[in-house]
């Protein structure tokens, strides 16, 4: 009698957004709002120590907001689809992440993961040798900020074109609109600086952004690095980290990345119930971020003589 090999039963199952899933996401938005309020309150204090704490809290909040935006991209936060862009766009604004542009590119990433057509919105190339130089460049991805400025400028002039394949006219219209809003916000910030608001812009956005950029890179780093990126099998080309409640909350479940790629429309708060299948069948599962950091450190040491370009 032929026996079939065991396979994950729950990992690849789809699941709709329920009322309780929506409530969980709204709760996360409330926590984010509290972080932002606390960060702003501290960042404007005359005490440099209190201001520094506030700036760090804002940087943490801006990074967390992009992870919440990521859930909106997949329409797994609300039962009403129209709410995802309405909420997702402001979530990405502090880190200059266009919701609609990110969505188009990110869904392509899900579709083409493990193939040469894979192109994630955040441009860290997981196929390069991992060196200190590569990590340092990724921590402060200035090229992405330059690309945002270029995209905003071409959207204002009406010359913007999508350069990663075909795009629906509706999606192009949404992207152009969002980058034009970026340009309006940038003009408002410049005007604020011209009228004496420079210190506030520095404390409430520019310095927190310098905190948020490397934090976001570190959150995204484990997803596919040092996995089999030549395979289209999510059990081989993606990594999950078991983690605890704090890391799971802060990364908005990004640590459970195999579970997310296996069924990308499943609400993030329901990925944990699938982790047992991942632990049993997947190739790249670590218990903690510290365990993952040790893997990265060993790889960087092994590649210490390699060039970073």
Higher pLDDT, 207 or 129: 207
155/177 Cα distance (integer angstroms)? 8
Task: Compute the C-alpha angle 285/263/101, nearest 5°.
Answer: 100
The two three-digit tokens of residue 73, written as one number: 């991209």
Could you tell me which residue, 204 or 144, shows the higher pLDDT? 204
Lowest mean pLDDT among 5-9, 99-103, 110-114: 5-9
Range with the poorest average pLDDT among 69-83, 121-135, 152-166: 121-135
Task: Specify whether the CB–CB gap between 220 and 244 falls below 8 A.
Answer: no
* C-alpha distances in Å from residue 64, one per residue of 105, 120, 203: 20, 18, 18
pLDDT, position 306: 59
Task: Give tens-digit pLDDT for 34-63.
Answer: 999 999 999 999 999 999 999 999 999 999
pLDDT of amino acid 241? 98
Of the candidates 250, 251, 258, which has an alpha carbon nearest to the alpha carbon of residue 12?
Answer: 258
Residue 309's pLDDT band (cuts 50, 70, 90): very low
What's the whole-number average pLDDT of the chain? Answer: 93
Closest to 23 measured CA to CA, from 99, 71, 79, 82 = 79
**CA 141 and chain centroid, separation:** 13
Render pLDDT for 232-257 as a digit per residue (tens, 0 to 9). Answer: 999 999 999 999 999 999 999 999 99
Give the length of the chain. Answer: 309
Average pLDDT of the segment spanning 173-193: 97
pLDDT, position 14: 93
145, 96 contact by CB (below 8 A): yes
Which pLDDT score, from 0 to 100, does residue 1 have? 45
Residue-wise pLDDT for 118-155, tens only, equals: 766 565 666 678 898 889 888 988 888 999 999 999 99
Closest by CA position to 209, among listed 34, 13, 41, 63: 63
Distance, in Å, from the CA atom of 234 to the CA atom of 174, rounded to the nearest integer, reads 30
């Amino acid at each position: 009698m032929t026996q079939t090999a065991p396979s994950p039963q729950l990992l690849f199952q789809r699941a709709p957004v329920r009322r309780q899933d929506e409530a969980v996401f709204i709760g996360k938005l409330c926590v984010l709002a509290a972080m932002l309020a606390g960060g702003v309150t501290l960042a404007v204090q005359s005490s440099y120590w209190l201001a520094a704490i506030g700036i760090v809290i804002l940087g943490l909040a801006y990074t967390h907001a992009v992870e919440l935006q990521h859930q909106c991209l997949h329409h797994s936060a609300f039962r009403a689809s129209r709410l995802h862009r309405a909420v997702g766009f402001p979530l990405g604004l502090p880190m200059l992440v266009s919701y609609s542009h990110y969505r188009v590119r990110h869904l392509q990433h899900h579709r083409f993961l493990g193939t040469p057509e894979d192109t994630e919105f955040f441009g860290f190339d997981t196929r390069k040798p991992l060196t200190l130089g590569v990590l340092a460049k990724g921590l402060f991805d200035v090229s992405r900020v330059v690309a945002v400025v270029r995209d905003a400028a071409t959207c204002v002039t009406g010359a913007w074109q999508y350069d990663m394949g075909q795009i629906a006219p509706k999606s192009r219209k949404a992207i152009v609109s969002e980058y034009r809003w970026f340009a309006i916000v940038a003009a408002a910030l410049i005007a604020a600086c011209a009228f004496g608001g420079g210190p506030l812009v520095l404390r409430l956005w520019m310095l927190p952004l310098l905190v948020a950029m490397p934090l976001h890179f570190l959150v995204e780093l484990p997803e596919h690095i040092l996995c089999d990126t030549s395979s289209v099998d999510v059990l081989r080309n993606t990594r999950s980290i078991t983690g605890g409640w704090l890391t799971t909350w802060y990364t908005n479940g990004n640590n459970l990345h195999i579970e997310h790629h296996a069924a990308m429309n499943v609400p993030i708060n329901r990925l944990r119930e699938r982790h047992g299948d991942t632990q049993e069948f997947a190739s790249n599962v670590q218990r903690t971020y510290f365990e993952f950091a040790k893997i990265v450190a060993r790889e960087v040491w092994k590649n210490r003589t390699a060039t970073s370009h």
